[in-house]
């Protein structure tokens, strides 16, 4: 894949993107209006996004062609787990020096690939370009092709230097690498009429391990996971699925649309967060296949799981009833976690809309009601103002917002990719309830909110002076 202006524009204007606000009726084929902007790499560059999308392929090696700093970028802080190989957790880099920048790093890259394959025998090697190697013009495609022929191992070039755009664009560039070099290159041992792919799910904190057993119990077979806890081979034969289930469509929508065009695989967009979303997901997949027996099986499973869930959540609902939450996250989580919190008796007084579509915003309005606050931007100052105004009991957001919560002296819960607890599916709902309960009722907050001894002394001293003055 050549990284051209046309290719970037194509990825930024996906017709099937969830940010296409007119999915039905007039204008339904109008493309997404997302555009690259100066400074859009702040908070995550394209290289970061590509690694997020591809590194969860656990039996592959991921080689960063650039400085050693890029290799240690952000992956270590993400909680994507593996049920088998741990090759994906090893950091490989060509560690370019100043001489390599001047004379070129292609020879060093070829040698690094050879050493990596000889020592670790990965199923495949993904080679990532970075800002430096893209600027000096190293020919990644040629080196990867030569190394693949020499070592008889798939070598996949990933053209996603950080300067080309945001993390989201990098996700899609990673998807392009899979489409160009991986998907469709092998065949599965067998197929079933109910084979599905999960796209855009990265198994953060092992969330898929609570969802896949449900899908299998309902009668669906997860043929390929793209890419959480995936193996290279299963991504290769993803083209034989009957349906693609998009979990984070903003990230890999280009894969879903391309597979629909190339392999005639339809896709639906779903969420695993909250009871209502999980129920809807199971029902929508069953409805797609149109099998009455399968739909009945799904309804029985939902009834069984909901009954168990009501029993498990009962004590948490008692303790969380009436608590007030400010939610600051993005995409479908901006409303799906609202639904999950309300199911626990928590009142969500504000949520973010920064990465939300018009459809998402409509759902948020419906869930929050007229008094709910919708945050377009969530600077620390704005969050603190909203927390004070709404008298919120806790803040639920990404990890970097925990210091805002500490400043406001309220509990905090991390719901983004750095977390270590799974919140998806029915099992995840119980885990989320437990985490919220522990956060809200931790005795530390009672102590934190008390005045310090010197503040008490100051107040008493001022009162005494005031009385003497009178």
Nearest to 237 by CA among 257, 220, 223: 223
pLDDT the model gives residue 2? 67
Residue 196 CB neighbour total at 10 angstroms: 23
The DSSP result for 275-323, as a single string, is HHHHHHHHHHHHHHHT-HHHHHHHHHHHHHHHHHHHHHHHHHHHHHTT-
CB distance 32 to 15 below 8 Å: yes
Sheet architecture: strand order including 267-269: 221-227, 195-201, 243-246, 267-269
CB distance 423 to 207 below 8 Å: yes
Residue with tokens 């991921």: 62
- Rounded to an integer, the average pLDDT of 324-353 is 82
- Rounded to an integer, the average pLDDT of 427-436 is 93
User: Taking phi first (over 0 means left), then psi (-120 to 50 degrees means alpha), and beta for anything else, what does residue 409 get?
Assistant: left
Tokens read off for 68: 């050693």
- The answer, yes or no, to whether residue 271 has pLDDT greater than 80, is yes
The CATH H-level (homologous superfamily) assignment of domain 5-14+42-181 is Nitrogenase molybdenum iron protein domain (3.40.50.1980)
Residue with tokens 């060509």: 94
Give φ, ψ of 41 to 5 degrees: -80, -5
CB distance 167 to 191 below 8 Å: no
Q: 3-class SS at 243? A: strand
Residues 6+ apart with CB under 8 A from 111: none
CB distance 131 to 161 below 8 Å: yes
pLDDT the model gives residue 262? 96
- H or E segment to which residue 106 belongs: helix 106-120
pLDDT the model gives residue 76? 60
Residue with tokens 């592959």: 60
Give φ, ψ of 125 to 5 degrees: -125, 125
Query: What's the pLDDT band for 305 if we cut at 50, 70, 90?
Result: very high
- The answer, yes or no, to whether residue 8 has pLDDT greater than 90, is no
The CA distance from 123 to 216, in Å, is 26
- The answer, yes or no, to whether residue 248 has pLDDT greater than 80, is no
Tokens read off for 338: 């609202």
pLDDT the model gives residue 447? 83
Task: Look at the domain 306-448 and name its fold.
Answer: Rossmann fold (3.40.50)
Please, where are the H alpha helices in 219-291?
Answer: 232-236, 249-263, 275-289
Q: How far apart are the first and last CA of the chain?
A: 83
- The answer, yes or no, to whether residue 194 has pLDDT greater than 90, is yes
pTM of the model: 0.86
Nearest to 228 by CA among 251, 205, 250, 244: 205
Domains 5-14+42-181 and 306-448 alike in fold: yes
Domain ranges of the chain: 5-14+42-181, 195-300, 306-448
The CA distance from 133 to 104, in Å, is 8
pLDDT the model gives residue 37? 53
* More confident: 151 or 13: 151
Digit-coded pLDDT (tens) for 379-425:
889 999 999 999 999 999 888 888 899 899 999 998 877 788 898 99
The CA distance from 328 to 408, in Å, is 15
The CA distance from 393 to 416, in Å, is 19
- Mean pLDDT, all residues of the chain: 87
Counted residue by residue, the chain has a size of: 470
CATH code: domain 195-300 is 3.40.50.12380
The CA distance from 310 to 308, in Å, is 6
Burial class (CB in 10 A: 0-12, 13-18, 19+), 21: middle
CB distance 263 to 184 below 8 Å: yes
**33-42, 90-99, 112-121: the lowest-pLDDT one:** 33-42
CB distance 182 to 188 below 8 Å: no
Sheet architecture: strand order including 61-65: 92-93, 61-65, 125-129, 155-158
With a pLDDT cut of 90, the percent of the chain lying above it is: 60
CB distance 253 to 16 below 8 Å: yes
User: Hey, which residues does 413 pair with through a beta bridge?
Assistant: 396
The CA distance from 118 to 290, in Å, is 49
DSSP 401: G
CB distance 48 to 74 below 8 Å: yes
Nearest to 212 by CA among 203, 429, 183, 236: 203
């Amino acid at each position: 894949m050549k990284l051209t202006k046309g290719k970037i524009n194509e990825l930024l204007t996906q017709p099937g993107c969830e940010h296409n606000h007119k999915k039905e009726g007039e204008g339904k084929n109008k493309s997404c209006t997302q555009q690259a902007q100066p400074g859009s790499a702040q908070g995550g560059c394209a290289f970061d996004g590509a690694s997020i999308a591809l590194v969860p392929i656990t039996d592959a090696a991921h080689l960063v062609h650039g400085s050693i700093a890029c290799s240690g970028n952000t992956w270590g802080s993400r909680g994507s787990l593996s049920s088998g190989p741990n090759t994906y957790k090893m950091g490989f880099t060509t560690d370019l020096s100043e001489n390599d920048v001047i004379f070129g790093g292609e020879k060093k890259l070829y040698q690094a690939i050879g050493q990596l394959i000889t020592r670790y025998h990965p199923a495949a090697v993904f080679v990532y370009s970075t800002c430096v190697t893209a600027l000096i013009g190293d020919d990644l495609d040629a080196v990867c092709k030569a190394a693949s022929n020499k070592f008889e191992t798939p070598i996949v070039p990933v053209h996603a230097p950080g300067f080309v755009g945001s993390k989201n664009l990098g996700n899609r560039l990673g998807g392009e690498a899979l489409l160009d070099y991986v998907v469709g290159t092998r065949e599965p041992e067998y197929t079933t009429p109910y084979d599905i792919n999960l796209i855009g799910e990265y198994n953060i904190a092992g969330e898929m391990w609570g969802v896949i057993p449900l899908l299998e119990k309902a009668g669906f077979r997860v043929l390929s996971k793209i890419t959480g806890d995936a193996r290279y081979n299963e991504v290769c034969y993803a083209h034989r699925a009957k349906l693609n289930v998009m979990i984070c469509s903003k990230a890999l929508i280009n894969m879903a649309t391309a597979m629909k065009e190339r392999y005639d695989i339809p896709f639906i967009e779903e969420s695993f967060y909250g009871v209502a979303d999980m129920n809807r997901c199971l029902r929508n997949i069953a409805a797609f296949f149109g099998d009455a027996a399968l739909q009945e099986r799904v309804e029985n499973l939902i009834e069984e799981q909901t009954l168990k869930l009501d029993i498990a959540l009962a004590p948490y609902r008692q303790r969380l009833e009436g608590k007030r939450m400010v939610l600051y996250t993005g995409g479908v989580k901006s409303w799906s976690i609202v639904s999950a919190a309300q199911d626990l008796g928590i009142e969500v007084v504000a949520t973010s809309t920064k990465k939300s579509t018009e459809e998402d915003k409509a759902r948020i309005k419906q869930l929050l009601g007229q008094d709910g606050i919708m945050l377009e931007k969530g600077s620390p100052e704005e969050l603190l103002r909203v927390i004070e105004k709404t008298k919120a009991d806790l803040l639920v957001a990404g990890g970097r917002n925990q210091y805002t919560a500490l400043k406001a002296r309220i509990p905090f819960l991390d719901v983004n990719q750095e977390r270590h607890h799974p919140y998806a599916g029915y099992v995840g709902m119980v885990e989320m309830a437990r985490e919220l309960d522990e956060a809200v009722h931790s005795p530390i907050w009672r102590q934190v909110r008390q005045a310090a001894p010197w503040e008490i002394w100051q107040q008493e001293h001022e009162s005494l002076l005031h009385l003497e003055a009178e």
